[in-house]
């Protein structure tokens, strides 16, 4: 069996953490194309089995993409005893990750995801300062009112949960299919009639954050990132923690995400010069970009 092909399939499947039905379909098509490249029929059956196995294991089971939504009504503790500026971890299952965060800020209560989208740190062990929660591991910041993230290394926000009152008791409504997922920020789509263009030089996290901020602010023009690297933006801090890390496992955003929000990423494109008045960018391969 061609194990290199199987490794590519596995990498493609495991790469996407915030998956959508669209991404599953696109990756399934990719897998079918990879399978069709193999000329010998003896590889077809085991490779097909591998395709379906990874699709089933990583999508249907672990991410529960197609699972029926189940909303739990979780009772909240005595809210009168909570001080303003206090936060608590509220468990709703036996799994260590089956918990959410209860926060009292400005005399109002908020329930939101308890685990940092970056590396899964438990946020109830972090610090609450005004309306901002700081991750205890790497310092990502989240707004308890909106759930949005405003400080790298996380790019996604936290899922918020509704609070209801029945009689004299309060409950949090927890959707079990989304409670542990991250909240992708809302972004504008590309408008072909908008000819304004922003060019970002460098393919690191700061550049990616800049591009996403433009889309979040409603910019509908063209966004191009030029990067000397051969891959889209990845979490460089992981390279010093695990020398055997597969680059596809530490991508901050995948190519499907960038395509969805019309962010053009030019890899292997080293910029060597800029002519400001002519608005020309010179690349190391001799090409120019206007």
Please spell the DSSP secondary structure of the chain, one letter per residue.
Answer: --HHHHHHHHHHHHT-SS--HHHHHHHHHHHHHHHHT---GGGHHHHHHHHHHHHIIIIIISS-TTSPP-EEEEEP--GGGPPTT-EEEEE-SSSTT-EEEEEEETTEEEEEE-B-TTT--BGGGSEEETTEEEPTTT--EEETTT--EEETT--SEE-EEEEEEETTEEEEEEETTTTTSEEPPP-PPP-TT---EEEEE--SHHHHHHHHHHHHTT--SEEEEE-SSSSS-B-GGGGGT-TT--GGGSBSS-HHHHHHTTEEEE-S--EEEEETTTTEEEETTS-EE-
pTM confidence score: 0.69
Same domain, 75 and 161: yes
pLDDT, tens digit, 9 for 90 and up, residues 228-248: 999 999 998 888 877 777 888
pLDDT, tens digit, 9 for 90 and up, residues 84-109: 999 999 999 888 889 999 999 999 99
CATH of the domain at 121: 2.102.10.10
Q: How many domains does the chain have?
A: 3
Instruction: Answer yes or no: is 190 within a domain.
Output: no
Same domain, 214 and 278: yes
pLDDT class of 43 with cuts at 50, 70, 90: very low
* Domain encompassing residue 37: 3-61
Same domain, 212 and 175: no
């Amino acid at each position: 069996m061609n194990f290199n092909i199987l490794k590519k399939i596995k990498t493609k499947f495991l790469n996407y953490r915030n998956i959508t039905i669209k991404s599953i379909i696109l990756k399934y098509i990719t897998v079918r194309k990879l399978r069709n490249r193999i000329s010998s029929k003896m590889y077809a059956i085991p490779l097909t089995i591998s395709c379906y196995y990874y699709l089933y294991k990583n999508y249907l089971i672990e991410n529960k993409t197609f699972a029926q939504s189940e909303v739990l009504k979780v009772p909240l503790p005595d809210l009168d005893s909570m001080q303003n500026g206090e936060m608590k971890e509220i468990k709703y299952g036996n799994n260590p990750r089956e918990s959410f965060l209860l926060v009292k800020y400005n005399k109002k209560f908020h329930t939101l995801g308890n685990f940092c989208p970056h590396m899964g740190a438990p946020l109830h062990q972090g610090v609450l300062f005004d309306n901002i929660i700081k991750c205890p591991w790497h310092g990502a910041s989240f707004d308890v009112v909106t759930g949005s993230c405003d400080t790298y290394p996380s790019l996604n926000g936290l899922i918020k949960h509704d609070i209801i009152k029945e009689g004299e008791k309060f409950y949090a409504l927890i959707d079990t299919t989304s409670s542990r997922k991250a909240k992708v920020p809302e972004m504008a789509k590309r408008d072909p009639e908008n000819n304004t263009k922003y060019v970002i030089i460098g393919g690191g996290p700061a550049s990616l954050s800049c591009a996403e901020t433009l889309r979040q602010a409603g910019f509908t023009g063209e966004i191009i990132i030029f990067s000397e690297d051969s891959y889209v933006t990845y979490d460089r801090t992981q390279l010093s923690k695990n020398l055997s890390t597969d680059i596809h496992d530490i991508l901050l955003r995948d190519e499907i995400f960038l395509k969805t929000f019309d962010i053009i990423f030019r890899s292997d494109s080293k910029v060597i010069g800029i002519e400001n008045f002519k608005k020309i960018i010179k690349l190391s391969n001799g090409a120019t970009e206007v």
